[in-house]
Structure 1
């Protein structure tokens, strides 16, 4: 039976890797993006050899109504990967109100409303799963990234609560909290900063998007059939 998964933020480094992994496992994919249409077009070309359906969906999930356009273009559904996100750096006293509102909308309000609208489709399936890509900072917090830490912590709490509510339906809800991953989000760091960062990580290196993708595929699979409400840290032993 054909399986369908929605990946928000499919144009980013982690989203692309998750799409590649799920395509290799036979999932047809709804590939959400905001502005990077080129990346999604290239991704679809890469996945063309798989006998799956690929459905690109453009939506600004940091806007109040962005989730509606996304959810209204989803039909059959077996899995959701909530991966959209952006980071913001600065002291609390430097944060503009509109930045706070956009971050809360993108990371908290929109994922809640997407799930709310799409849950009936998941409940039509005997087995379904939701995986949220959160952050190590949602677990331990980071100075100069207080806003980002706050919204990622909210995602972790959401996963734990939603998993309990949906457990009787057979829908599992888990999260992955990545540490430092080699994605474009790390491009703001200087080479010296990256070396210092890696020195703090017990495994001595940053993670790869592929390692996050493997974890996501595991959580969506029957191999994780008795796992729900878990926040899996994939961080090389950093801040455990």
Structure 2
């Protein structure tokens, strides 16, 4: 029987890469998102999560793994942001995901399943990260990191919980943001990419394929629990 995996935000970027690599390795993946979805889920509305997850479980049974990947950032400093924008990013990046995890763990407890939760976090959550550029986004990712630490202690008999903290990863969305910065700063794409690379000890950026392989490793390493894995090519901390 194929092991089932729920991935949030699997329509593009890192999530899509994870979906593709896990599928190639024999896992049955289901994308929970708004576009190109196996199950349509708008994370802006946490009160819809239970209905979507119930539909999934009724059709396919229990997923052994959930990968919390979906999320986004905001442009502008704190005083530029509207309350509705701040509420929405918390809904998408953390609250809806906690709601999804709650229902999945409840099923694991009910059917005595030992599951696997992988949280895709960010270096922006960690103290001293000098490239943190948005207060509210960093706060949501700090919540992801805290979720890993507390959840791993609360349900160790039912779930392995680990977090992968990313630095700058080259995705289609990241390149669009960098190109916008080029226009704003009057710089070239190569110049902006070099700036990012120079902030890492390895003088390079991380690829989405590397993150996908790391997810595969975390899934297969059965004794790994309560770990925060730095996947940033050596971003400076402190």
TM-score in same-fold range (> 0.5): yes
RMSD of the alignment, in Å? 1.6
Q: 1:185: how far off?
A: 2.8
Counterpart CA distance in 2 for 1:6 and 1:219 is 15
Runs of 5+ in structure 2 lacking a partner?
A: 183-188
Q: What is the count of residue pairs matched by the alignment?
A: 219
For the 8 Å contact 2:124–2:132, the answer to whether it is kept is no
Query: What are the equivalent positions in structure 2 for 1:1-240 lying under 5 Å apart?
Result: 1-34=1-34, 36-37=35-36, 56-75=38-57, 76=61, 77-123=63-109, 124=111, 126-140=113-127, 141=129, 142-169=131-158, 171-186=159-174, 187-189=176-178, 190=182, 191=189, 192-221=191-220, 223=221, 225-240=222-237
Q: 1:126: how far off?
A: 4.4
Moved over 3 A (4+): 140-144
Runs of 5+ in structure 1 lacking a partner?
A: 41-55
* TM-score where L is the length of structure 2: 0.86
Q: 1:219: how far off?
A: 1.3
* TM-score where L is the length of structure 1: 0.85
Counterpart CA distance in 2 for 1:125 and 1:206 is 41
Q: 1:184: how far off?
A: 2.3
Q: 1:95: how far off?
A: 1.1
Q: 1:2: how far off?
A: 2.1
Q: Is the partner of 1:172 in helix, strand or coil?
A: strand
Post-superposition CA distance 1:173-232 (Å, at most 9, x none) = 0111111100123121131222211122121221111111111111111x2x22211111
Counterpart CA distance in 1 for 2:215 and 2:195 is 28
For the 8 Å contact 1:83–1:132, the answer to whether it is kept is yes
